[in-house]
A and B are shown apart, each in its own frame.
Chain A
Amino acid sequence: MSRFDDAAVERALRLYRIVIPRTALAGRVGGITGSRAGGSLELHDFREYQPGDDVRQLDWNAVARTGQLIVRVRREEVSPRVEVVLDASRSMAITPAKANRALETATLLVRLAQLQGLEPALIVTRAQPERVRRPAPEEIRRVTFESALPLGESLRRSAVLQACGVRLIVSDFLFETPLDDLCLRLSHNAAFVGLVQIMDESDVTPESAAGATLVDSESEERLDRILNRRILETYKRRLAAHQAQLVASARRAHAAWCQGVAQEPFEAMLRKRLLGPVLEARS
Chain B
Amino acid sequence: MSVGAPLGLLALLGVPALVALYFFRRRSAPRRVSAIFLWRSTEDLTQSGPRWQKLSREASLALEILATVAAALFLADARCSPSTGQQTHTVIVLDSGLSMQAHPGGAASIAEQATKLARERLDRAGGIATIIASGVKPHVLAGPAIPEQDAIAKLKDWVPSEPSHPFEPAWTLARELAGTSGRVLFITDALEKQVPKGIEVVALGQPLANVGFIGAYRADTATTTTLRLRVANFGPSAQTVAVHLTDATGKFSRDASVSVDAGGSAPFALDIPAVGELTATLPDDALAWDNRVVLGPERPKPVHLKIALPPDTITTDVVARFIASEEDIIVGGGSDLTFLPADAKEPPPWSILLGAPASDATPLRAFVGPFITVKSHPLLEDVSFNGLVWPAGANPAGTPLVTAGDRTLLSEERGPRFHLNLDLSRSNVARTTAWPVLLGNLVEMRRRTLPGFVRHNVAAGEEIAVTLGEGTWTLKGGGETRTLSTNLGMLTLRPGEYTLLNDGKDADAIHVNALDAGESDLRTRNSGTHDASERITSSALLAPNRSAWPLVLMLCALLADYALAAPGRRRLSQERA
A interface residues with partner B (beta carbon < 8 Å):
91, 94, 172, 174-176, 199-200, 202-203, 206, 209-217, 219-226, 230-231, 234-235, 238-239, 242
Contact = CB atoms under 8 A, between A and B. Distances in A.
Contacts of A216: 32-33, 35-37, 50
A224 B50 contact: no
A239 B38 contact: yes
A211 B21 CA distance: 14
B50 A174 contact: no
Contacts of B30: 212-215, 222
Contacts of B40: 223
A172 B34 contact: yes
A225 B41 CA distance: 11
B35 A175 contact: yes
Contacts of A224: 25, 28, 568
Given A223-B40, A224-B25, A91 B31 contact: no
Given A213-B28, A230-B575, A234-B575, A221 B35 contact: no
B31 A221 contact: no
B49 interface: yes
B18 to A, nearest CB: 16
B50 A220 contact: yes
A203 B28 contact: no
15 contacts: A91-B33, A94-B32, A172-B34, A175-B37, A202-B33, A209-B29, A212-B31, A214-B31, A215-B30, A216-B36, A216-B50, A220-B50, A221-B49, A221-B53, A223-B39
Contacts of B31: 209, 212-215
B193 interface: no
B33 A94 contact: yes
Main SS at interface, chain B: helix
A223 B50 CA distance: 10
A200 B54 contact: no
B388 to A, nearest CB: 115
9 cross-chain pairs, A with B, having the tightest CB-CB distances, nearest first: A216-B36, A174-B35, A221-B50, A91-B34, A219-B50, A211-B28, A174-B34, A213-B30, A212-B31
Contacts of A223: 36, 39-40, 44, 53, 568
Main SS at interface, chain A: mixed
Given A212-B28, A215-B33, A216-B36, 19 more contacts: A174-B34, A174-B35, A175-B35, A176-B35, A200-B34, A206-B33, A209-B29, A209-B31, A213-B28, A213-B31, A216-B33, A216-B35, A219-B36, A220-B54, A221-B49, A221-B50, A222-B53, A223-B40, A242-B38
B34 A217 contact: yes
Nearest to B56: A222
A222 B35 contact: no
Nearest to A234: B575
Contacts of B36: 214-216, 219, 221, 223
A249 B50 CA distance: 27
Contacts of B29: 209, 212-213
Interface residues of B, number: 24
A91 B28 CA distance: 21
A209 B33 CA distance: 14
A217 B50 contact: no
B32 A215 contact: yes
A239 B575 CA distance: 17
B230 to A, nearest CB: 91
Contacts of B38: 174, 235, 238-239, 242
A94 B39 CA distance: 16
A215 B29 CA distance: 10
B463 to A, nearest CB: 80
Contacts of A175: 35, 37
B144 to A, nearest CB: 55
Nearest to B40: A223
Contacts of A211: 25, 28
Nearest to A91: B34
A26 B29 CA distance: 51
A91 B35 contact: yes
A103 to B, nearest CB: 17
Contacts of B54: 220-222
A206 B35 CA distance: 12
B411 to A, nearest CB: 105
Interface string B118-153: 000000000000000000000000000000000000
A162 B83 CA distance: 81
Nearest to B37: A176
Contacts of A202: 33-34
Contacts of B37: 175-176, 216
B419 to A, nearest CB: 107
A230 B50 CA distance: 25
A241 to B, nearest CB: 9
B576 to A, nearest CB: 8
A71 B53 CA distance: 70
Given A219-B49, A219-B50, A225-B39, A214 B575 contact: no
Contacts of A91: 33-35
A209 B29 CA distance: 10
Nearest to A174: B35
Nearest to A228: B575
A175 B35 CA distance: 6
A240 to B, nearest CB: 10
A130 to B, nearest CB: 22
A213 B50 CA distance: 14
Interface in B480-506: none
A178 to B, nearest CB: 13
Nearest to A238: B38
Interface in B49-67: 49-50, 53-54, 57
